[in-house]
Structure 1
Amino acid sequence: MLGRNELCSAAVLSLLLGGLTAAPAAAQATVTFADRVCNVRDYGATGARLIPETAAFQKAIDDCAAKGGGTVEIPRGWWYVGPLTLKSNIRLDVAKYAVVQFATDPALYGTTRHPVSPEGKNADRALINIADATNVAITGEGTLDGQGYVWWEWMREYWRDSEAAKSGEANQRQKVTRPRLLLANNVKNLLLEGVTFANAPSFHVVLNHSEDITVRNTSILAPASSPNTDAIDPGNSRNVLIEGNTISCGDDIVAIKGSGVEPGHPDAAVSNIVIRNNKIFGGHGISIGSGTSGGVKHVLIENNTFEGSFHGLRIKTRRGYGGEVSDIVFRNNTMKDVENVLTISAYFQYAPLDLSAAKTSKGGMLIVDLFYPPENEPAQPYVENQTPDIHDITIDGLTATGAERAGIVIGLPEKEIRAMTMRNVRIEAKTGLIVRNAAIRAETTTISTTNGDPVQRQRHGRFQTGK
């Protein structure tokens, strides 16, 4: 780990993406802190374990910030707190063997035990909040534990008798109000390094409308069965580096979202994202979407290893929430025993939570837990910033063994997936790759299956081999 006074990731990343040239990614996060150290023990925290010591922790943060910033130290021990707010020029350092557990009283976060909001309102507060701030870091070798298992069981109790259990449409509509573990809004220069984020009530690390972010060498951990526990969600953000992390969770490993046109960035609400050298276990893949209406461009996903994941690599969006997704490169990724290797699709329609209640339309498909319409579905009018427009996608170097499904590449009849290249790809799976409303050029690519054709070409599906 870098020293206290200067924590930075300043390498300029020039992305030459398999024949596509992405705009150079700027240095991701550059953070520097004063030598000042504010230990939470000096502000009244005792490690009482049973009563939240939120006030002492927040006083240490506020006092350190008021004096010009520095490091707020959480020493070794077991700590119990409510929601915290970090400020500009603050580094929160969580010592090795320090475990910070967050209280589970919903009132602390502006929500209730009832886990779904019909008006789509999220909890007012996250467990760790950063807003309108610059030069912030969370570092160390300790653990931030959201005690999500309490919240997950409340969610399951609700789900058992909910409409979403029997209806895919209702499942798609529901809005969960559980708080995030870390929520950054309008933050510039944020470093997350070394620390373990565990057991979030819902998503672990959410980055909204933020720039120059590095998430490095963290562990983000929740059971594979935990509901909606995304690891890292960059939304309408730019210049994000995610590298060297170990991730196992109950939903998307990364979910890159560009929802709504971003003022000042009309070309793409999300750009210059690099995801590399991560070790991935449980989870629903490295994903783009489902919201892409603001545009997503210049994404490099490389040298990641997957083992036992539910999904591998995904672009998932749908009519009404879609936009332009382009200049995306997946390079030199390796998968073992992943259920579904590739999902590149302009459809994203949930099945019911109770899959035994899932009924497909005539000619439609249920793949894993999502519905896809029949291949003769008629075209609909193209609507800018609503219709998915997926193009210039490169998969260069992918090895997947022990998979259940090679996956799908399915575009819309009104806007097909185009300019997609597969190069140096080897997939071994039980079932092959479904291609519909999409054109793929494959070079040095082998898909081996034990059941059915390696490539299933449906309507307007082109899979051309050779240069």
Structure 2
Amino acid sequence: MKNLSSLLLLGMVLSISSQAIGQSNGSLPFTLPKVECPTFKADTISIDKYGAIKGGMVLNTVAIGKAIDACSNSGGGVVLVPKGVWLTGPITLKSNVNLHLQDGAVLQFSSNFDDFPLVMSYFEGWETVRCQSPISAKGQVNIAITGSGIIDGAGQVWRPVKKSKLTSAQWKALVSSGGVLSADKSTWYPSEKSLLGQNTTIQGYIKGGSMHEYEKIKDYLRPNMVSLVECKNVLLEGVTFQNSPAWNLHPLMCENLTINKVNVRNPWYAQNGDGVDIESCKNGVVTNSTFDVGDDGICIKSGKDEEGRKRGMPTENFLVENCVVFHGHGGFVIGSEMSGGVRNIIVRNCTFLGTDIGLRFKTTRGRGGVVENILVDGINMTNIPAEAINFSMYYMGKSPIAEPEDEGKTQTTVKEVGANPIADESTPQFKNFTIRNVACKGALQAIHLEGLPEMSIKNILFEDISIEAEKGIRCIEAEGVTFSNVTIKTTKGIPMEVINSTGVETSRVDLMGASQVKVSVGGKMAKGINLKGVAGASAATVKIGAGLSSSEIIK
């Protein structure tokens, strides 16, 4: 092959450049350890030498597997995917192998469900049965996927699609292609097995279920496209990962992870079409990458509920930098599966364009886990359909706080609810966040914080924030929240609402909006609210809820 000698060194060159990225920690508020990147021998094996045939007509699973095995067994090196379309079933990576896609190479995964057997795997925080991932590795050391090519997971044959997310012409074409419809005709499923899975299971999880039972819903058990479990020294660089059956990239319980200059794509309507979900991993960087997906863009997780707490492996020591998210449910997200904890995360110099929510931190009762020591610095956003910044401990649940529209009123009210649960190991915690240098042009709401009555959100600093949105700030069940040099421009409602919160501090806060009232404070637990730093705060512009003492509000 021409110019092969230049390719021989590519794995080594990429790992050296990524290792330098992992060391760029000079200005961080806490120390992140050096991320160790894989290095590879110069030896290169091309998949066509083991019988792979390009063109997209011949299934090359066996040939690619033989090339990877031969490379690993000989001490490692580069397995080359040359220019062309290469059809394949699931691929298993092995230690000391850099799977390198040449410019113009397309690794196209099969659309035949039978090519993906049922295996024990992981999905949304639980160990369970799924179809085998297109690319997987478990317990391997020094592995990489690099190059300039494209990896396509054939997700269109796996995913259900909601009618509401397509044009009438697109829906008609999809239905005519085959598959089945839900009883209400609102959702298309690829097959009867896929529909059965949706109707009879929770996320395809059958407690105590046999493989025979899972086989009945096999087509519903969509795999994550790249599943890397308990691997060490992992590099993903340069490649386009697209069209995944479920999540795109899922490193789980891995150590020393470098993701650099990747392009991750899914249709905007792709259910569970996340970009990257980093779960219970230690030490890593996600840099210089773009995401345009159907669910969360860049997401940090650590297991779900009791199983996640029992695993007890937080995601920790990560730098996310210089990334762009064009579409997704959230630009940067933590949760909701965070039961093992998340700590020491830095997100800086990122841009979110049209993501449903910009910065999203989500959990719910039953998760447990502590999310702490999070720095967000230098985020630019535009056209955010929901909140620019959202903390919610009611994910998939019902908040006891009524929206103004719910009551037909202009001010938020607190619904009367029963006794609050007592905090225990299943109660999640968000604490010690710094969010600074954030600008957003256009959002439904600027900032939403909502903790639990039994566990408030604690110690959050918002500094140097400028957001233009329909609605402003809502701070509910929070403790020790500081707003410093914050400008919020709104068009609807009261610009700042504080409910059942304590220790709220303000400094150089400018709230611009049509409402004469700038701040409302409510909830019988509210106290220690310092509004001295709010421009124009006065008896006429601050509304204090019934039952509260004005001495608790420092104007």
SS of the residue 2:71 aligns to? helix
SS of the residue 1:121 aligns to? strand
Going from structure 1 to structure 2, the CA distance change for 1:219 and 1:452 (only over 3 Å counts) comes to same
Going from structure 1 to structure 2, the CA distance change for 1:132 and 1:172 (only over 3 Å counts) comes to same
Taking the aligned partners of 2:360 and 2:405, their CA distance within structure 1 comes to 16
The question of whether the paired residues in 1 share the 8 Å contact of 2:131 and 2:222 is answered with no
The question of whether the paired residues in 1 share the 8 Å contact of 2:55 and 2:84 is answered with no
Which of the residues 151, 158, 162 maps onto 1:144?
A: 151
Identify the range of structure 1 (151-160 vs 212-221) with the bigger mean alpha-carbon deviation: 151-160
Going from structure 1 to structure 2, the CA distance change for 1:451 and 1:342 (only over 3 Å counts) comes to same
Taking the aligned partners of 1:274 and 1:172, their CA distance within structure 2 comes to 37
Going from structure 1 to structure 2, the CA distance change for 1:383 and 1:444 (only over 3 Å counts) comes to same
Q: Where do residues 5-404 of structure 1 align in structure 2 (5 Å cutoff)?
A: 5-6=12-13, 7-8=15-16, 9-11=18-20, 12-14=23-25, 21-22=29-30, 24-111=31-118, 121-153=128-160, 160-161=182-183, 173-175=202-204, 177-259=221-303, 260-261=308-309, 269-285=314-330, 286-339=332-385, 340-349=387-396, 363=402, 376-377=416-417, 378-384=419-425, 386-404=426-444
The question of whether the paired residues in 2 share the 8 Å contact of 1:134 and 1:190 is answered with yes
SS of the residue 1:30 aligns to? coil
SS of the residue 1:64 aligns to? helix
Structure 2 match to 1:357: none
> 2:264 is aligned with what amino acid?
I
Taking the aligned partners of 2:39 and 2:237, their CA distance within structure 1 comes to 14
TM-score for both structures, normalised by structure 1: 0.86
The question of whether the paired residues in 1 share the 8 Å contact of 2:101 and 2:149 is answered with yes
SS of the residue 2:231 aligns to? strand
> 1:203 is aligned with what amino acid?
W
Gaps of at least 5 residues in structure 2 are: 1-6, 164-178, 188-198, 205-219, 407-412, 508-532, 534-555
Structure 2 match to 1:455: 496
Higher helix proportion: 2
CA RMSD of aligned residues (A): 3.1
SS of the residue 2:443 aligns to? strand
> 1:304 is aligned with what amino acid?
C
> 1:453 is aligned with what amino acid?
I
The question of whether the paired residues in 2 share the 8 Å contact of 1:364 and 1:374 is answered with no
Taking the aligned partners of 1:350 and 1:202, their CA distance within structure 2 comes to 23
Higher relative contact order (CA 8 A, sep 6+): 1
Instruction: Give a deviation string over 1:99-156, Cα, whole Å, max 9, x none.
Output: 11101222322359xxx99x98342410001111010111000000011111124788
| Percent of pairs with identical residues | 30
Whether 1:411 aligns to 2:411 is no
Q: C-alpha displacement at 1:48, in angstroms?
A: 4.0
The question of whether the paired residues in 1 share the 8 Å contact of 2:401 and 2:415 is answered with no
Taking the aligned partners of 1:234 and 1:200, their CA distance within structure 2 comes to 16
Going from structure 1 to structure 2, the CA distance change for 1:443 and 1:305 (only over 3 Å counts) comes to same
The question of whether the paired residues in 2 share the 8 Å contact of 1:364 and 1:375 is answered with no
Taking the aligned partners of 1:406 and 1:172, their CA distance within structure 2 comes to 37
Structure 1 match to 2:515: none
> 2:424 is aligned with what amino acid?
V
Gaps of at least 5 residues in structure 1 are: 352-359, 368-372
Q: C-alpha displacement at 1:413, in angstroms?
A: 0.4
The question of whether the paired residues in 1 share the 8 Å contact of 2:439 and 2:465 is answered with yes
Taking the aligned partners of 1:459 and 1:174, their CA distance within structure 2 comes to 35
The question of whether the paired residues in 2 share the 8 Å contact of 1:410 and 1:417 is answered with yes
Q: C-alpha displacement at 1:402, in angstroms?
A: 1.4
Instruction: Give a deviation string over 1:376-410, Cα, whole Å, max 9, x none.
Output: 544211112x1011111110110000112214100
TM-score for both structures, normalised by structure 2: 0.73
Taking the aligned partners of 2:267 and 2:39, their CA distance within structure 1 comes to 35
Going from structure 1 to structure 2, the CA distance change for 1:290 and 1:15 (only over 3 Å counts) comes to farther
The question of whether the paired residues in 2 share the 8 Å contact of 1:256 and 1:287 is answered with yes
SS of the residue 1:281 aligns to? strand
